[in-house]
């Protein structure tokens, strides 16, 4: 290092030496994704907060009821060692409707086809959600990046009525045999988009690090809806397509990674 120059100045010179403009197209890409994104998500946050508060209220009520019952039993000279919470002391019916993240339905292995088990109920109003038979998904293209593969996916409402589609699902990379090559994280309960008949949503699914046995063509992606209301498998680009299989960047057998952007119009 040039010793006659202060370290801070050298550091700032090093920091200055880098791009000062965003990559071409990023501005457009972001603005395109704004379409269909809503700003105000307070109703959903309110719902979640409400569910949390009712759970906490239920727990508090149970504690109060237990204290009252225990105190009453003690006061009346009942057995002090009886269970403080009687059958009527657990007023927590709300617990049956709490929102819970769906567990990953399948391990990220390249075994045989993995059935998606039924999942827990969620706060999403199920009656408004699209059924898998209401929609059709297809991959329009795969792109490669450093260690990643990115699918552009379209989802169309092929039903006859407007329904709601969650902005996030659990993405999976699946092969022609139905095996789940990589399973993403279960989607949290969150926003939904209204999807009119014929309307199309798009998303990007990015996967990386597939270090297991060779998959069977064609490789495509699937989406497990929050709340276990269904799973949609996107039509592959072609019947022989293997472009979505990412390179192995880790140790043999190490788990892969798959994520999706929120669906947008």
Partner 1 sequence: MERDLVLAASGGSREAFGSLVSASIDRCYALAFRMLRDPELARDAVQGALLGAWEDLPSLRDPDRFDAWLTRLVVNACYAEARRERRWSAKLRLIPMDQPNTPDTALSIADRDELDRAFARLPIDQRAVVVLHHYLGLSLADVATTLDIPAGTARSRLHHAIRQLRAAIEADARPTTFTEDRPA
Question: Would you tell me which residues interact with partner 1 (CB under 8 A)?
Answer: 1-2, 5, 7-23, 26-27, 29-31, 33-35, 37-41, 145-148, 208-209, 249-251, 254, 257
What is the C-alpha separation between 182 and 195, in angstroms, rounded?
28
- Write down the least CB distance from residue 77 to partner 1, Å: 57
Q: How many CB atoms lie within 10 A of CB 233?
A: 14
- Write down the least CB distance from residue 194 to partner 1, Å: 16
- Rounded CA Rg of the chain: 25
What is the C-alpha separation between 265 and 261, in angstroms, rounded?
12
C-beta of 14 vs 75, nearer to partner 1? 14
C-beta of 171 vs 236, nearer to partner 1? 171
What is the C-alpha separation between 156 and 122, in angstroms, rounded?
24
C-beta of 15 vs 76, nearer to partner 1? 15
Q: How many CA atoms lie within 13 A of 69 on its CB side?
A: 16
C-beta of 26 vs 97, nearer to partner 1? 26
- Write down the least CB distance from residue 48 to partner 1, Å: 15
- Write down the least CB distance from residue 165 to partner 1, Å: 17
Q: How many CB atoms lie within 10 A of CB 144?
A: 12
The per-residue DSSP string of 90-105 comes to ---GGGGG---PPPPS
C-beta of 33 vs 54, nearer to partner 1? 33
- Write down the least CB distance from residue 259 to partner 1, Å: 8
């Amino acid at each position: 290092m040039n010793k006659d120059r202060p370290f801070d100045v050298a550091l700032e010179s090093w920091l200055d030496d880098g791009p000062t403009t965003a990559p071409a197209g990023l501005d457009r890409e972001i603005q395109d994704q704004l379409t269909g994104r809503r700003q105000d998500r307070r109703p959903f946050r309110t719902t979640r907060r409400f569910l949390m508060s009712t759970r906490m209220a239920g727990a508090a009520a149970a504690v109060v009821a237990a204290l009252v019952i225990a105190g009453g039993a003690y006061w009346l000279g009942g057995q002090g060692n009886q269970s403080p919470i009687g059958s009527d002391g657990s007023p927590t019916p709300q617990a049956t409707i709490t929102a819970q993240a769906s567990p990953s339905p399948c391990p990220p292995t390249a075994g045989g086809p993995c059935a998606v088990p039924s999942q827990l109920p969620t706060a999403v109003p199920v009656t408004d959600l699209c059924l898998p038979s209401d929609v059709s998904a297809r991959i329009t293209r795969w792109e490669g990046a450093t260690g990643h593969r990115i699918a552009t996916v379209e989802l169309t409402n092929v039903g006859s009525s407007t329904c709601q589609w969650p902005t996030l699902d659990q993405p999976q990379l699946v092969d022609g045999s139905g095996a789940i090559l990589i399973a993403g994280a279960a989607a949290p309960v969150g926003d939904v988009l209204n999807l009119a008949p014929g309307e199309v949503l798009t998303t990007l699914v990015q996967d990386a690090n597939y270090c297991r046995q060779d998959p069977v063509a064609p490789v495509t992606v699937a989406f497990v809806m929050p709340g276990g209301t269904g799973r949609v498998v996107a039509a592959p680009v072609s019947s022989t397509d293997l472009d979505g299989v990412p390179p192995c960047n880790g140790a043999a057998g190490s788990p892969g990674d798959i994520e999706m952007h929120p669906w947008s119009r």
